[in-house]
Amino acid sequence: MRENFQPEYTNKAENLVIPEAILSTDNNTSNESRNELTSETYSFFKDMLTARGYIEFADVNEAYRTLPAKKIIVRREDPRNILKLFSEGGSYDIGFLNNDRYSNCVEWNPKEDGPKNISNAYLEGFTNLNSIVTVIGLEKNNEDDIKQLDDATRDFYGLNRAGVRSFQGSVQEDKITFINLRVPGHLLPESELTENEIDKVDEYLDAEETGRPTQPVMIHRSYIKNVIDTEQDSEQRKEAA
């Protein structure tokens, strides 16, 4: 059955309050409640990002075409880190215990590498929040420690891993160029889906009800930072100084 839960809250960029239910670690909730949390978490992220001037794209490939032709760091990020960063500001560090490094990101040029190479970023991590997976793109700077490890082979079970990297450094909100959300489509209301996505989700639900082998339909949304607004804000800060 499709979820039609509609969360009710106010989420403004200047007054971000994260609903406690989203961050709850209670594992005793019912399936229906967990499904509602998925919808609420998605809506909260969407409202939070659009309130900050990010532009939403239902077609992630279209979103990638708006990015400049330069290498950026793309990694699967714990959604809790993103919420904390946007609500509290400042930054957080990515590091390794005892300097025991492993691959945790992709170094990616949207124009040269194409959209397929970014898929490795989803594999270099495991965290989610209420079934929501987040992937972020970060501008590179000189302080970042980026290495290519031995496991970044060119071909790994059909995947080109040449761009896989180990990243150690700081994440600030102003370094983020885009944020992707991935969410099971059957947990979203139809109002959040395209017609094509609705058809695919309906096919999945029909197969599930009849016992046929099937996999959930994953919905992808990309949120690109509005560069024009960012530049204007930067100029206004310079004038104020």
Question: Which tokens sit at 61?
Answer: 């490939």
Predicted pLDDT at 156: 65
Q: Compute, in degrees rounded to 10, the torsion defined by CA atoms 109, 114, 118, 119.
A: -170
Predicted pLDDT at 205: 97
| Residues 23, 20: Cα–Cα separation, whole Å | 6
Predicted pLDDT at 26: 75
SS3 call for 92: strand
Give the CA distances from residue 116 to residues 44, 157, 159, in Å, rounded to whole numbers and listed in that order. 28, 15, 9
Predicted pLDDT at 10: 40
Those residues whose C-beta lies under 8 Å from the C-beta of residue 83, and which sit 6 or more positions away, are 18, 22, 23, 48, 129
The residues that bridge with 166 in the sheet, in sequence order, are 147
SS3 call for 5: coil
pTM for this entry: 0.86
Predicted pLDDT at 12: 44
Predicted pLDDT at 155: 66
Q: Considering just the CA atoms, what is the radius of gyration of the chain in Å?
A: 19
Predicted pLDDT at 192: 96
The residues that bridge with 183 in the sheet, in sequence order, are 219
The Cα angle at residue 127 between residues 121 and 129, in degrees rounded to 5: 120
Predicted pLDDT at 231: 46
Contact 214, 40 (CB under 8 A): no
| Residues 201, 198: Cα–Cα separation, whole Å | 5
Spans in the chain with pLDDT lower than 70 = 1-15, 28, 154-158, 227-241
SS3 call for 149: coil
Predicted pLDDT at 126: 85
Of 120, 95, 228, the closest CA to residue 171 belongs to 95
